[in-house]
Each structure stands twice: as C-alpha cells, then as structure tokens.
Amino acid sequence: MNTTTVRAACPHDCPDTCAIRVTVQDGRAIKVQGDPDHPPTHGALCTKVARYPERTYHPERVLHPMKRSGPKGSGRFTRVSWAEALADIAGRLKAIAARDPQAVLPYSYAGTMGLIQSESMAARFFNKLGASLLDRTICSSAGGEALAATYGAKVGMHLEFYAESRLILIWGSNSIASNLHFWTFAQAAKRAGAKLVCIDPRKTETADKCHQHIALLPGTDGALALGMMRELTVNGWLDDAYVARHVDAAGWPTLRERALQWPPERVAEVCGITADEVRGLARDYGTTRPAAIRLNYGMQRVRGGGNAVRLIALLPCLVGAWRHRAGGLLLSSSGWFKRVRDDTALQRPDLLAGRRPRTINMSTIGDDLLRQAHEVLPDGTAFGPKIEALVVYNSNPVAVAPDSTRVVRGFLREDLFTVVLEHFMTDTADHADYVLPATTQLEHLDVHASYGHTYAMINEAAVAPLGEAKPNTQIFRELAAQMGFTEPCFADDDEALARAAFKREVVDFDALRASGWVKLPIADAPFADGGFPTADGRCSVDSPEFGVPDFVANYESAASAPELARRYPLAMISPPARNFLNSSFVNVKSLRDIEGEPLVELHAADARGRGIASGQMVRVFNDRGSYLCRARISPRARPGVVNGLGVWWRKLGAAGTNVNELTHQRLTDIGRAPSFYDCLVDVRPADAAVS
C-alpha cells in the first residue's frame, strides 16, 4: 500500500482559506485534515470540507461531457466525446462571435477561489474572443467598494490578533458557521476576559455564545453606526489626536453634524432595538481598548449596504482603535493580496486588443437574459446585442442569483446556447446544452489568496482527474485551440500559470511549494500611525464618488415602502446554512441530512397570528414568487423578521423552489450588488389559499 500526504488549500468562498493535508492511498484521496502548522487553520477544517472526499467521489459526479437530449431545462443528457463536444461548442461560439462576440457571456464566480482555476485561462479565452465582460458583484462588491472608498483598499487587521482584543463586535457575521477560524481567535479573547457583542437580526449560534446580542432590523446598521458616532462625540470618547492626524479633515465635520441628528431614541426606533442598547454599545466601544470589529458581508446585502459599511469602517478611526494591533476592523484582507498578485499576467487584458466590450452585471442576469438587442435600459443607454451564448463555470446562478423566476425563464430560452463546466448536475447544469466535467480541488494545481487572512497558499493536485474530468484551464486551452487562437499564452500549462500568479519578490512559487504558504509582509498594527492606502494617507469621509456617508433605508421596509409592507409585513433575510457553502454541498447527503430540509424560522408571535404551527409546510411569498418550505418557530427569529436559510438546490427543495424565488434584482447604493436581505414577504400555511 502506498500512502502519501499532499498539501492542499480549501477552494471555497470562505474567508478562512484553510491549509489542508490530503492523505492519498494508492491514488485515492481517503482523508482531508486541517494543517496543524498553518496558524489560521491550526489543524481544524469545518464539517463541510471534512467531507470533501465524499463530495469528490460522489456517485453523481459528472465525469464525461454531456449533450442535451431533452427539452431545455429537462436535465436529460447523453454522453458525448470531448472531441465532439469541443468541436460543436467552438463552432457555435464562432458563428455567434462572427456577428458580435459580445453576444457571448462568461458567467463565473467563486466555486473555486483558486487564482488559476478561476480567472486565468478562462479570462484569456474570453478576452481574445472579445466577449462581454462580467461585473462580479453577487457577494461582496457593496462592502468591498465601500471599504476601499474609506481606506483606499480592502485591508484590515490580522486575524490572529483578535485573540488579544478586549472588546469584539461581530457585526453581520455568523462566525461559527461561516468564519470558524476567526471564531477560534474570538474565543481565545473571550477566555482572556474580552466582551463579545453580536450585531445581527438573527439569533445565530454565534449570537448564543456572545455576551450580548443586538437584534436590529435588517438594513439598519448605518443608523446604529451614526448613533454610536453621536454618543462617542457627545461623551468625549473620540481619539481627537488620531482623528486630527489621520481622518479626512474636510469630511468629518459634516459627518459629525449628521451623526448629532441621531440620538439613541431615534436610532432605537429605526433599528427596532432599545435606546439603552445603543448607549451601552457606544460606551463599550468608546471606553474599551483595544476594541476590534469583525464586519462581514451579511450586513451589506441591502440597499444601503455600502453606506453602512462606510459608516462602520470609520468607527475604529474615531476612537483610535488602530493604534493597537488587536484593535481596528476586518471586513476583507483581499486588498493586501492585490499588491502581490499579477492578474495582468494571468488574465492578459492585452488580448482585448483595444476593444472595450460591454459589461453585464451578474446580479441582474435574470433581466439581462430576457433583454432584446439594443433595448433601451433604465439609465437611457442601449443594451447591445442580445445574449446568445452563456459559458458558466464556478457558479450555480439558477440557484444563487436573485429573482430566480426570471433567471429560470432566461435559462429556458430556446435560442440561448449554454455551456456549463461543473462537478455535478446542478440547477444550472440542468439548463445547459453542454455540460463539461471539471476537476475538483483534489485533482488540479492551484494557488490561493485569502480574504480573511494574509497567507498565500498552494494547492497541489493530490489525485489524477476522475473519469474524463479536466481542469477549467485545460478545457479553455482546448477550446482556444478549436477556435484557432494561436497566441503562445494559450499553451501555458498550470504550473506556468501558478508561477506567474504572484509577484516573485514577495511570494516565490518554489517557496510556496516547499512550505505550503507564505505570509505577506504586513506590519502588526498597519495603521497605528495612519498611512491608509488612500491618496493622502488619511481615512476618507467625503469620497469624491459617493459623498459623505449617510443612513440609506431598505428598498423594502415598513418605513420606506408602507403600502408594500401592508401586504407583505415580514422582512426576510436568507443567510447561509451552516452545512452548505452557498449552493455547494447541498447534494452531499450526509450534510443535507444535518440541515434536514428547506426551512424558514419565524418568531412565535408572527406564527401565531397566521395560524402556523412549528414543523408545518408553509408558503413564503411576495409579488415575485412563492417558496414552499417548512416553518420552524424559533427564538432565532426576531419579531417581524423571518430567516429563510439558503441556498438550497431548487430541485432538492420542495416544489422545485428556493429562497431566491422571493429576492429581487435591485442593486445596492455602492458596488452594484444584489440586495438579497432587503426583501418583504408574508407566510401562510401551505394549504391555505393566498389572497
């Protein structure tokens, strides 16, 4: 028996980017374990990824190219050879591109976060073709652009130093479920006497373990931050010296005046909490050192998500929290990597050869697939050519994109040519003309950045590709050859790509290979003396693009849309289920068994008035659609807010629906992102008629 251990990295869209050791026995991966030597991972993987071999060797893996043999969306396919599939796909793409290459749209997100298997060869391919560009907004662009508008880049604290904080605000994050390795450091701080406060409409498993839980209404975080600023100001808790030296001197006075309009009673009214909660939170934050905030993307999926992130991101500057390495804020660390990544080398924008293709926002794919050529858009511009071909990889838009009734209608178009690179027959793959089998993380080489820590990582291929699966890179390489693309860059192999991914002076590939990871050189307390990566080194308040931040109410709330709220009085958020990762793992039975079935959590008071008993099937509905699931009357739901845990595969849910049946395509204030958690609904027993 031949047993080896291979160094890998978790590919998933998770801030933790764990280092993994894969045990391989006679060519088969039999076990994955967290690497005990990698500081953020320290030996532990989450429940989901501990099942990675089960997912990889799943009997339903797509292992051969498949061609549609039934009506669109029927999920009926027959096996074809790679040669036939690639020749036919290239022929179709060539014919469309000959009319206008912008009619071809790549659609991809973070099924793998690997720099090589996401946007390297694929980006080269679509750049050379001149296809439409994709605005990748579905997750984090509201908060990400807001953070960059404040600090100049997506930068923040080191994960490890949360262990030394005395106060941690866990804001819009269910860390135990979605950022487990941060939670380990937060627990260390708690054991050393730190206070932990969770700010989240849902009483999550993380809220259960914090000292305090502030259950505000969805989309009201900006008001809470303004209220905190007001208390910090009137009580003399500002670090005046830090503010004077490191905060935008023109913008702050305007914002201070604005904050003074937010006394605790007004904040309490808007946020649906008590004035004492506002006062207490501000006092803790203004008087405890070092104080740290772990902000996560859960709170920016609403209309005002960008403004809210800007307001919260200013708080550590106002109290000088950055002076200490255990103080400050982390939303994303990806900006630290931006300086060392060489995306130009990987993606080769020069292949566009001066063309400037139009950009399609991935969050409005539902509307955009249904648009006619040159249709006039709401902003007065013209749409350009109709989308005639869609190439999907690393994403499952039919399940995860908002307003899925329209997304499905678009994918069902008979005149749309759809190719999906996948591991499984997802809801999206069901709607393809061709499904091409892709390798998993155990079967290909990759390198990784992280958005939750500051280590560059390697993922070695542990086993040979299963069946006829190929890495995304190889599929695009072969497609490029079929298309007649002759540039030498289409011959680069994965190792050549991996060697080019990072700037050699900072992250040397051979060093990465030898040790598994390389920590980026970043000071322990990077902004102790200011020096933010903005033009003038100061934290920005009055941004040239977005002005001075303010509270922006939800599209859909009792205050902002009273007529709508009379018909649909409950706010629905749809945060991730702990044992799934977005829609990944829903088909892994051992994990689906833990989650049970699609459910909506309601507060007892909201259930009572509607005649809903716990465990009963209910319809959650609004004008956009109706979602059938099981009701759970639960203290995890606050009055007026229901929690529809995501993101189930539609076909594995009840009646072929999931939560995105209810969400809409309106975009956030900053970052052009979806507002998934800005959504009014009502709930009824499933058998009752809906009036």
Ligand X SMILES: Nc1nc2c(c(=O)[nH]1)N[C@H]1C(S)=C(S)[C@@H](COP(=O)(O)OP(=O)(O)OC[C@H]3O[C@@H](n4cnc5c(=O)[nH]c(N)nc54)[C@H](O)[C@@H]3O)O[C@H]1N2
C-alpha closest to that of 109 among 144, 136, 81, 77: 136
Tell me how far apart the alpha carbons of residues 580 and 592 are, in angstroms, rounded to a whole number. Answer: 8
Which amino acid, one-letter code, is at 306?
A: G
Judged by CB under 6 A, does residue 457 bind ligand SF4? no
CB of 23 to ligand SF4, least distance (A): 16
29, 45, 214, 420: which one binds ligand SF4 (CB under 6 A): 45
Out of 52, 126, 171, 185, point to the residue binding ligand X (CB under 6 A): 171
Q: Is 353 exposed, middle or buried (0-12, 13-18, 19+ CB in 10 A)?
A: exposed
14 part of the interface to ligand SF4, by CB under 6 A: yes
CB 451 within 8 A of CB 15: yes
**Smallest gap, in angstroms, from Cβ of residue 487 to ligand X?**
23
Residue type at position 42: H
Are 78 and 66 in contact by the 8 Å Cβ rule? The answer is: yes
DSSP-derived letter for residue 288 is: -
Listing DSSP states for 10-42 in one string gives --SS-TT--EEEEEEETTEEEEEEE-TTSTTTT
What would the x/- binding string for ligand X be over residues 468 to 507, using CB under 6 A?
----x-----------------------------------
- By CB under 6 A, the residues from 176 to 195 that bind ligand SF4 are 180
What is the distance of C-alpha 499 from the center of its chain? 27
Task: Give the HSE-up count for residue 225: Cα atoms under 13 Å, Cβ half-sphere.
Answer: 30
Which residue is nearest to Mo ion, using beta carbons?
139
* Stretch binding ligand SF4 (CB under 6 A), from 9-17, 142-150, 602-610, 649-657: 9-17
Separation between Cα atoms, residue 327 and residue 151, nearest integer Å: 15
The Cα 182–Cα 184 span in angstroms is 5
Of 50 and 528, the one with the shorter C-beta distance to ligand SF4 is 50
Q: Is the dihedral of CA 87, 91, 94, 100 positive or negative?
A: negative
**Residues 641, 217: contact at Cβ < 8 Å?**
yes
Judged by CB under 6 A, does residue 139 bind ligand SF4? no
* Dist CA 18 CA 12 (whole Å): 9
186 contributes a contact to Mo ion by CB under 5 A: no
Q: Binding partner of residue 17 among ligand SF4, Mo ion, ligand X, none, CB under 5 to 8 Å per kind?
A: ligand SF4
Query: CA-CA distance, 387 to 105, in Å (whole number)?
Result: 7
Widest CA span in the chain:
72
- Of the candidate spans 133-141, 229-237, 451-459, 618-626, the one that interacts with Mo ion by CB under 5 A turns out to be 133-141
* Residue 669 touches which of Mo ion, ligand X, ligand SF4, none (Cβ within 5-8 Å per kind): none
Q: How far, in Å, CA of 600 to CA of 682, rounded?
A: 11
Instruction: Work out whether 16 is an interface residue with ligand SF4 (CB under 6 A).
Output: yes
Rule CB under 5 A: say whether 647 interacts with Mo ion.
Answer: no
Judged by beta carbon distances under 5 to 8 A according to partner kind, the member of ligand SF4, ligand X, Mo ion, none in contact with residue 675 is none
| Binding residue (CB under 6 A) for ligand X from 202, 303, 448, 470 | 202
Is 583 a binder of ligand X (CB under 6 A)?
A: yes
* Contact call for residue 302 and ligand X (CB under 6 A): yes
Residue in 158, 136, 141, 142 with CA at minimum distance from that of residue 452? 158
Using CB under 6 A, which of 126, 297, 322, 434 touches ligand X? 297
Question: Least distance to ligand X from the beta carbon of 632, Å?
Answer: 15
| Residue among 162, 262, 285, 393 that touches ligand X (CB under 6 A) | 393
What part of residues 471-530 is at the interface with ligand SF4 (CB under 6 A)? none
Judged by DSSP in three states, 547 sits in strand
113 binds Mo ion (CB under 5 A): no
Cα dihedral 516, 521, 523, 529 sign = negative
Q: CA 259 to CA 401: how far, in whole Å?
A: 35
Nearer to Mo ion, 139 or 435 (CB): 139
Interface region with ligand X, contact rule CB under 6 A, candidates 80-88, 168-176, 262-270, 531-539: 168-176
Give the binding-site size for ligand X (rule: CB under 6 A): 61
Give yes or no for residue 12 binding ligand SF4 (CB under 6 A).
Answer: yes
165 binds, among Mo ion, ligand SF4, ligand X, none (CB under 5 to 8 A by kind): none
In angstroms, the Cα distances linking 139 to 10, 18, 213 are 18, 20, 25
144 binds ligand X (CB under 6 A): no
Q: Which is nearer to ligand X, 542 or 595 (CB)?
A: 595
Decide: is 347 part of the binding site for ligand X (CB under 6 A): no
Residues making up the chain, counted from first to last = 691
- Considering only residues 212 to 271 of the shown chain, the ones binding ligand X according to CB under 6 A are 218-219, 221
**Distant-in-sequence, close-in-space partners of 547: CB < 8 Å, separation ≥ 6:** none
DSSP symbol at 612: P
**Helix or strand or coil: residue 401?**
coil
Q: 451, 490, 485: which is closest to 333 by C-alpha?
A: 451
Exactly one of 39, 73, 530, 576 binds ligand X (CB under 6 A); that residue is 576
Element (DSSP H or E) covering residue 149 = helix 141-151
Q: Are strands 66-68 and 77-79 parallel, antiparallel or unpaired?
A: antiparallel
Interacting span for ligand X (CB under 6 A) from 56-64, 181-189, 378-386, 421-429 = 421-429
> Least distance (Å) from ligand SF4 to the CB of residue 18?
3
- One DSSP character per residue, 623-680 reads TTEEEEEEEEE-TTSPTTEEEE-B---GGGSGGG--GGGT---PBPTTTS-B-TT--E
Which residue among 8, 22, 29, 49 contacts ligand SF4 (CB under 6 A)? 49
Among residues 85, 129, 139, 148, the one that binds Mo ion under rule CB under 5 A: 139
Shortest distance (Å) from residue 319 CB to ligand X: 20
**Which of Mo ion, ligand X, ligand SF4, none has residue 49 at its interface (CB below 5 to 8 Å by kind)?**
ligand SF4
Pick the stretch among 122-130, 138-146, 307-315, 627-635 that binds Mo ion (CB under 5 A).
138-146
Counting Cα atoms < 13 Å in the Cβ hemisphere of 415 gives: 9
Q: Assess 106 for contact with ligand X (CB under 6 A).
A: no
- Could you tell which of ligand X, Mo ion, ligand SF4, none binds residue 636, using a CB distance below 5 to 8 A set by kind? none
Instruction: Give me 216's structure tokens.
Output: 């505000």
Q: Helix (H) and strand (E) counts for the chain?
A: 25, 25
Q: How far apart are CA 372 and CA 375, in angstroms?
A: 5
Q: How far is CA 79 from the centre of its chain?
A: 33
Nearer to ligand X, 132 or 173 (CB): 173
Residue from the set 7, 8, 18, 321 that interacts with ligand SF4 by CB under 6 A: 18
Minimum distance, C-beta of residue 197 to ligand SF4, in the bound complex (Å): 23
Which positions touch ligand SF4 (CB under 6 A)? Answer: 10, 12, 14, 16-18, 45-46, 48-49, 180, 581
Which positions touch ligand X (CB under 6 A)? Answer: 13-15, 109-112, 117, 138-140, 171-174, 177-179, 199-202, 204, 218-219, 221, 296-299, 302, 393-396, 399-400, 421-424, 426, 438, 472, 573-576, 578, 580-584, 646-647, 659-660, 663, 676-677
Which positions touch Mo ion (CB under 5 A)? Answer: 139
